[in-house]
Amino acid sequence: MMDESDSVLRTLGQLRGLGVRIALDDFGTGYSSLGYLRRFPVDKIKIDRSFIHDLDKRDTAAIVRTVIGLGAELGITVTAEGVEAEAQLDMLRKAGCGEAQGFLIGAPARASEMSRLLRSQEKLRRSG
């Protein structure tokens, strides 16, 4: 799908017109590149978990901060994937990252489990 054909661009534009948000997953690895930010109507950048895992390395931290800043400049939401430690989350918050996902936030769950979790959270809010 990541070719530059007019039909792909037209389809992505139509999807956005319907309210579908477009995310560039695993940013920084594989087929994700800066060029895609210019060519495609992207709403979200998801920083690949390999970068978050190596946040303690100076060069990697600089890259992550730069991607977060780039997202802010372009008006694109940035999500950090694979957040597993408080120190990672703290650094990401300080850098201005608005979203995070990973085992620190919550483990993957089935839809039925999520429904139960949301219901219990709603009960806690009502009783509190």
Give the closest residue to 78 by CA, choosing from 46, 32, 36, 40.
Answer: 46
Q: Is 73 among the catalytic positions?
A: no
Instruction: Classify residue 60 by burial, with Cβ atoms within 10 Å: 0-12, 13-18, 19+.
Output: middle
What is the number of helices (H) and of strands (E) in the chain?
6, 4
Q: Taking the CA atoms of 90, 85, 62 and 36 in sequence, report the sign of the dihedral they define.
A: negative
Q: Which of 4, 81, 86, 99 is catalytic?
A: 81
Cβ contacts of 10 within 8 Å, gap of 6 or more: none
CA separation for the pair 10, 104 (Å, rounded): 38
User: Which positions are catalytic?
Assistant: 81
